[in-house]
Structure formats: C-alpha cells, structure tokens
Structure 1
Amino acid sequence: MTDQTTERTGEIVDLPTWLASHLGGRTAEEISAEFHTLLDAVREHGKKGSMTITFVVEPPANGVESAPLPIGVESAVKAPKATAPKALYFLDADGNPCRDDPRQMAIPFQTAHTTTEFKDAH
C-alpha cells in the first residue's frame, strides 16, 4: 500500500451537505425516517437505542487513479422493543414444561347443572 498525500486546492465539502445530495437526497430522507423511528421507539418503551451510519468507500475500478470512487451509505438501527410477556411453567419428571404443578394432585372438576328457573324469595 502506498502513502499518498493529496494537496487540497479548494474548499472541502461539508459532510451534511454532501449527505443531503447523495443519491438525490434519498439517502438523507431514509436515514431521517430511521432516526425518527428510533426516537419513537425510545419514547414508547423507555429504553435506550442506537443508530450507526457507515460510509463505505471503495477504490476506483481496476486501480485507475482517475476513475470514480463508489461511495455508499449504510445505516443500522437498534431500536428498543417491548418486553415479551412471560408465562409460568413447572417442569415434569421428564424435564418438560407444563402449566400444572406435577407435585400436586389433580382435583376433578365438574360443571354445575344450570337452570333458568328462579325461586320466589317470599
């Protein structure tokens, strides 16, 4: 790998300005939407989240010095989620989860006979 220093003769483009123009502004719009999704999730769940923006710059094709540089922008959002509800289980003799405590005796349950007749309270 060679060490090349480039003398800059003009003004350096401001990164936010460049990002706003990348792919006709589509990238900035997508990143903004993801950022607001992250903000909403943090506010809703009360937990922290994060967003990473990565600039991927590839060397010119075939090593040609004057060839254009492919530049991509990638983003990754780690938004908080709601905590999934849990249910309680017991382990049976084989180690399988079950809803009823295997150490307790089962009580037979019968549904009472229903009627539509009411006794007079007099």
Structure 2
Amino acid sequence: MTTSTDQQVTEPAEFAAFLVQHLAGRAHEEISAEFHELLSAVNEHGKKGALVVRITVEPPKGHIDGDPVVISVDSDLKAPKASAPPSLYFVDHDGNATRNDPRQTAAFDLRDVTTATEIKDI
C-alpha cells in the first residue's frame, strides 16, 4: 500500500519584515534606537549589556480557526551604566561612617597667616 504525501512546503515569512511592519514601523525604530544605545553604553563603559526582544502571540477568545491573533512586541534594554567611584571612610566608635580618622587627635586651631612684605637685613 502506497500513501501519497502531497503536502505543500511553505516558507516562513521573514521576521525582519514583520518587525518593520509592526505598529507602522514604530517597534523597529524603538528597538533600533535601544540597540544603538546598548552599543554606545557597552563601548563607553567596557561592560556587557543585553537587549531582549519579546514577541507575544495570543489566540482569539474561543479559539476559532481563522480568527486574528494578537501580537505584541516588547523590548527590555539592560545597558551598562557608569559605576560611582568609591570613597574612603572610617568607622567611629559608635559604628558610624566618618571622613575623619577617629584615632587621630583633634586638628590644630589653624588661622591664616599673611606673609611679611618686608624682610629686614640682619
């Protein structure tokens, strides 16, 4: 017994074409701008980042064959950021951060002394 396999092989549509058409091109423009921002941030900070594009497809209510599906495109940009430089602090006897070394004695009472304008010969 022979069986016939006359199924048509269909080519999938190009994803890039879908993305360019989605929301009249706004999705493509926004994702392109985020990708550009990601490249710039990685180049500037020397750290890795990520851009995740999520396509969500929802079936129609009641799942009737041939009804339109709802497709949404979301993106999540995780670009590296500059790290704030650390600062040195001491921990005082009460457990608080302080800029002054608690082991050091209090500073001298300093005042501004102007330089002498005349130098006397001795």
* TM tier, smaller: 0.7 to 0.9
In 2, Cα distance between equivalents of 1:34 and 1:78: 9
Note closer, same or farther for the CA distance 1:108–1:25 as it changes in structure 2 (3 Å cut): same
Q: Which is greater in Rg? A: 2
Q: 1:101: which partner in 2?
A: 101
In the alignment, which residue of structure 2 is the partner of 1:118? Answer: 117
Equivalent in the alignment of 2:68: 68
TM-score (norm 2): 0.81
Amino acid at match of 1:119: E
How many percent identity over aligned positions?
Answer: 47
Report the TM-score, using the length of structure 1 for normalisation.
0.81
Instruction: Tell me if 1:20 matches 2:20.
Output: yes
Kindly tell me the number of residue pairs found equivalent between the two proteins. Answer: 115
Question: How far did residue 93 of structure 1 move?
Answer: 1.2
- Name the CA distance, whole Å, in 2 between partners of 1:101 and 1:47: 35
Task: Quote how far apart the aligned CAs of 1:60 are.
Answer: 0.9
**Residues of 2 paired with 1:89 and 1:97: CA distance?**
6
* 1:88 and 2:88 correspond: yes
RMSD after superposition? 2.2
8 Å contact from structure 1 (residues 61, 67) kept in 2: no
Task: Name the aligned partner's letter for residue 117 of structure 2.
Answer: F
What pairs with 1:43-58 in structure 2 (closer than 5 Å)? 43-58=43-58
Residue 8 of structure 1 and its aligned partner are, at CA, apart by 6.8
1:77-101 deviations in Å (ceiling 9; x for gaps): 1111111111111111111101101
Q: Distance in 2 between matches of 1:12 and 1:31?
A: 22
Tell me the alpha carbon deviations over residues 40-69 of structure 1, each in whole angstroms, 9 at most, x when there is no partner: 001111111111111011121343333211
Structure 1 portions without partners, runs of 5+: 1-6
Q: Summarize the alignment of residues 19-38 of structure 1 with structure 2, pairs less than 5 Å apart.
A: 19-38=19-38
Q: State the shift of 1:110 in Å.
A: 1.4
**Runs of 4+ deviating beyond 6 Å:** none
| Alpha-carbon separation, structure 2, partners of 1:114 and 1:60 | 86
* Structure 2: gaps spanning 5 or more residues: 1-6
